[in-house]
Structure 1
Amino acid sequence: MKLDVQELLAGHYNEPESYVVKRPHGRQDWLLMFTLDGKGYVNYNEEKRDCRTGDIVLLAPGAAHHYGTLKNHTWQFVWAHFPAFFSEINLLPQEEVVYLTIENESTRERIFQAFSRILADSRERGEYWFELCCGSLREILLIMAQKTKRNMDPRIEEVLRLLSQLMREPIRIEELAQTVGLSPSRLSHLFKESTGLSIIDTLNRMRIQQAVLMLEHTGRSASEVCYDVGFQNYNHFTNQFRKWHGMTPSTFIKNQR
């Protein structure tokens, strides 16, 4: 099926309380809306849901709906209409409408940056603009799918983000706990309950996963990679490599060669 690139539309609105859109028969495409500030609402199937900062709504083709700004408020949101070919990668839900609240600040920023790229690329219409917009949309839909399946406490999501970002640095659980507003013992308990692993095991697994990639693709020695990924002791690195990858770094390198 040939795709009409004109079907992909996007915008950034900041609307007064008089703003309302009514679509009794829906549209032929998907609609994705992400609230940045203020308050709006979406009414679907006689159910009215408020849209506040961090809320994201996905409406399927043909879903009758109307939406607008709540009384005595303004509503700032970004939106995108896109065709149903995204169903080819199984990221779109079976339901006609999906409401999600994104509580994690870094995830909100990531979604906003993806929307910003969609807006810029769709306006500039440079070479491959449509493919670039599709990539950004896929990123948002993947985040939504991950959120739907995992439904993780946003504080744990933030700790996972910090671990991946600060992987090469010494990590103190006390500092992580202070960052997300929990006691060290409560954070440790909640983290393992949510992920199935301790914070230290998760950090070491991240480091070993990165080490495997570096040994496969950079030609660096095991001792160099050990320090590159954040380990301060080569014996500890070797033990963790065996734990998470089933062999020592030297055996892994021999197998690669």
Structure 2
Amino acid sequence: MQTNDLKVIRPPEKESDFHRHPDLGYEEQIDEGFIRFLEHGAPHQLIRWHFHEEYELHLITETKGKVFVGDYIGHFQPGQLVLTGPHLPHNWISTEYPNGQDHVEVRDKVLQFRREPLVRSAELIPEMRSLMNFLDRAANGVEFYGISAQVEAMMDRIKVSSGMDRLANFIELMAILAKHENYRLLSSVQLQSRDDQHHLDEISEIVGYVSEHYSTNFNMAEVAEKFGMSESRFSRYFRKATGNTFTDFVTRMRINKASQLLLDTDQYISTICYSVGFNNVANFNRRFMEVRGMTPSEFRKNGKLRY
């Protein structure tokens, strides 16, 4: 069925300094610093589908609801901790308040920080380079588990500190998160390789090929031959580098592309199914449910809440 009400798609709003007033929960601007602390309740003006130039470490302290990060749709509850990268749209919409309330004073604790100072530091300080590798994961959003209480305490320390103390607390927090292994990447397609640069380049080239040809019919044997590997060696290599079998990886990439089309266009679901490489709607619906936990039509309907 055609979803005519999705013909006009509102893009995410870009957050600017105009929105960063202390009355909205932001701390006073610190001219010499690049780390900004924010906390606010719900409902609140800042709860909207938006993006910004900075990284954002976002901790939910109250309420339950739906979270939107890029094309990811999921549920949140107190303790959810997510790192988003620059220009990645996001929003948390509260649907359940504690004890029958209709508002809470503090729902979110947030750190925002710019990339450029960290990049320039990594050019001069070798120890900072591992931090950049960690931050690269945030391009599609990272959700951390089992560390929220510790992170909240450190965020509170950053809130009340300044100068070198604030920077030291921030670097300590980043180091803890970078070493934390209990996390997931919110994008449906991600690399997990920790190999040397040669292997990273090689798997990136393979993923690039899949990204370019995902809508066509191809199999693992053809791709393995193209990259000079036997099918069995390619299968082991690919799974180690991505955490997925080749078939699952291609399926997830196709579902990811379909998700973007469902959220950003009003195309028929059947049209989207064939355009991303599936050859029948029933299989598309089944695979979509496996990856997203909902049908394509439910995903599109829920996606409207982002705004």
Task: With the length of structure 1 as denominator, give the TM-score of the two structures.
Answer: 0.44
Question: Which protein shows a greater Rg?
Answer: 1
Task: With the length of structure 2 as denominator, give the TM-score of the two structures.
Answer: 0.37
